[in-house]
Chains A and B, each alone.
Chain A
Amino acid sequence: MAIVAETSRFSKTGRPILAWIVGLIFFFPIFWLVLTSFKTDADAVKPEHLIFFTPTLENYLNMTENYDYWRFAQNSVITSVFATIFALVVGIPCAYAMAFNPTRATKDVLMWMLSTKMLPAAAVLYPMTFITKSVGLFDTHFMVIVVLCLINLPIVIWMLFTYFKEIPKDIIEAAQMDGVNTWGEVREILIPLAWGGIVSTALLCFIFCWNEAYWTVRLTTTEAATLSKLIEGNRAPEGLFFGRLSAVSAAAVGPIVVLGWFCQKQLVQGLTFGAVK
């Protein structure tokens, strides 16, 4: 009885407090980033202006007026949205085939796909740059979309495969008996049943695409440059301007934080899908 009482007291008060502490620790860098973005570059490095300072929108105005923030943001949206769509278009049939018609090679194929994530990106930087430049795709939306899609495809397929495996095969077979072709199975049964999983996969893929910096910084200059490139571009040779850099960073992570906030229920639901049966 005593153990039960202690456990319930912990779950009632201790657990929420612990959760808040962990949450605040994780949120602190974002808070700090946003706070610094409203300081002048001079204030940003002065210890006396750590908390108390005169807020300014100077950095944000500078960013939109001098750095064409909206063009970078637009490129981020275009490349992330299309890369996510393509990853799903390729990933859904692929995961479907492996989940419902597995062969002896399925496990190996899944492991192989995952192993591509283990390859250091730097190892293929030179060939990628060389190839994209020689075929005229350097700094194009198409190339960024293809690269973002490909680097996220293993995760997308793995996640979808896990969700699809939760759907009983009998239901798919019942649909086959009911006169449904493969496309019908996907449209009528698979997508509605795995909708939560598909949405959370799409969200995660979108977030990964949005945050991707290694390739988007190296394979673009101006035309297809994303917000990652904008942040990178604010590293001035004469030193770091923290106020300016923070404003750019806050404006880059802002949309994705807002998206994550609104979709947190969907994300958590999707990520824990099938964990409890």
Chain B
Amino acid sequence: MGRIVLDTVTKSFGDAQVIPPLDLTIEDGEFAVFVGPSGCGKSTLLRLIAGLEDTTSGKIAIDGNDVTQVPPSKRGLAMVFQSYALYPHMSVRKNIAFPMRMAKMDQAEIDKKVEAAATSLNLLDYLDKKPGQLSGGQRQRVAIGRAIVREPAAFLFDEPLSNLDAALRVGMRMEILELHKKLNTTMIYVTHDQVEAMTMADKIVVLRAGNIEQVGSPLELYRNPRNLFVAGFIGSPTMNLITGAAAGSHGAETIGVRPEHISVSATEGTWSGTVGVSEHLGSDTFFHVHGTGLADTITVRADGEVDFKYGETIHLTPRSDVIHRFDAQGLRLG
């Protein structure tokens, strides 16, 4: 079990309030991702749940029990840190066994669980090595192993993949997802990378300056961003935001069109401009189009290998059924 409820939780450091009153429920077994730009309070929120920071006011409950005043060691949660935070003076085996040893478990049981965790995380050959002798990916797996053996009510991940290179990051992402499917335990994952959020989450919590901007599934956020901030944050490349007459013609202050919802043509279209830099990925081609009179740059995503030369005139047509409309306050219309 691992249902986590935050009830009007606030956090201030001195006079600065970093988390204004906030309510949030994470259901048992859910994979929730806190996402937002640097300094938005996502890590602070995770640390409040972990108990590593004290709440200024409000209540945190895990499985119905108020844990607001409970120390981190007694909350039954496990955390994986960005820096791995392994114990450098202990071998991999001792690192993984540590929480069980602290819980005074039977040695035979500890050995069995360490073996099982090491097997599932491909760490069997490294059990007697020290963390300093391992690669970044292996270290992160040890950190995950140390978290698994506790059988926690929920796992907390604080940007666990940020220190890994791109290829390893994708691999580890899949491993964490596999783990979630296998254990079916609540996981809360903090990242500033919206691709990680979109690919991993059951529920995304978008944060800005400590405020929750929107909560929903990845596709809900993608299809119906509640405001301009979420619209600009979710999706890669980011949504094109257009103001002025083009927006006015849709009865909005600002309209948003995703790059993949604009078709390109050499001969005709609603808007036209000149091709700037193109990014050819094989499966897709991204064009950065200038001089449309709509915005500095309009980004367009075309399927497959499409070739327009630098400086060439291009015609763009947005799909009218997926144009997002926002009012003067930046809130979604309709």
Spell out A's residues near B (CB within 8 Å): 168, 170-171, 173-181, 184, 188-189, 192-193
Contact = CB atoms under 8 A, between A and B. Distances in A.
B199 to A, nearest CB: 26
A171 B102 contact: no
A180 B79 CA distance: 13
A177 B52 CA distance: 8
A177 B73 contact: yes
Contacts of A170: 81-83, 85
A173 B87 contact: no
Pick the 5 closest A-B CB pairs, nearest first: A174-B85, A170-B85, A178-B99, A176-B72, A177-B79
Given A174-B79, A176-B52, A181 B85 contact: no
Nearest to B51: A176
Given A170-B81, A184-B102, A177 B87 contact: no
B158 to A, nearest CB: 9
B87 A171 contact: yes
Given A178-B73, A179-B150, A180-B102, 16 more contacts: A168-B83, A170-B83, A171-B88, A173-B52, A173-B79, A174-B85, A174-B146, A176-B51, A176-B71, A176-B73, A177-B52, A177-B73, A179-B73, A179-B102, A181-B71, A189-B87
Contact of A181 (B73, B82, B86, B88): B73
Interface of B: 50-52, 71-74, 77-79, 81-83, 85-89, 98-99, 102-103, 146, 150
Contacts of A184: 102
9 contacts: A171-B85, A171-B88, A175-B98, A176-B52, A176-B71, A176-B73, A178-B98, A179-B102, A188-B98
A173 B71 CA distance: 11
A188 B146 CA distance: 16
Main secondary structure of the interface of B (DSSP, over half): loop
A192 B95 CA distance: 14
Contacts of A174: 79, 81, 85-87, 146
A96 to B, nearest CB: 16
A1 to B, nearest CB: 36
Given A170-B83, A171-B87, A173-B81, A179 B52 contact: no
Given A168-B83, A168-B85, A170-B83, A177 B102 contact: no
Contacts of A192: 89
A188 B50 CA distance: 21
B83 A177 contact: no
B88 A193 contact: yes
Contacts, number: 60
A176 B79 CA distance: 10
Contacts of A171: 85-88
Nearest to B77: A177
Contacts of B99: 178-179
B85 A180 contact: no
Contact of B73 (A180, A188, A189): A180
A176 B87 CA distance: 12
B72 A177 contact: yes
Most buried by A among B52, B103, B146: B52
Contact of A178 (B51, B71, B146): B146
A181 B99 CA distance: 12
Nearest to B90: A192
Contacts of A168: 83, 85
A173 B81 CA distance: 9
Nearest to A184: B102
Residue among A170, A181, A184, A189 with max Cβ neighbours from chain B (10 Å)? A170
**For A168, A177, A188, which residue has the most chain B Cβ atoms within 10 angstroms?**
A177
A174 B80 CA distance: 8
A180 B71 CA distance: 10
A168 B85 CA distance: 8
Contacts of A193: 88-89
A46 B286 CA distance: 97
Of A173, A184, A193, most buried by chain B (CB within 10 Å of CB) is A173
Given A168-B83, A170-B83, A177 B78 contact: yes
A252 B196 CA distance: 68
Nearest to A195: B89
A183 B130 CA distance: 24
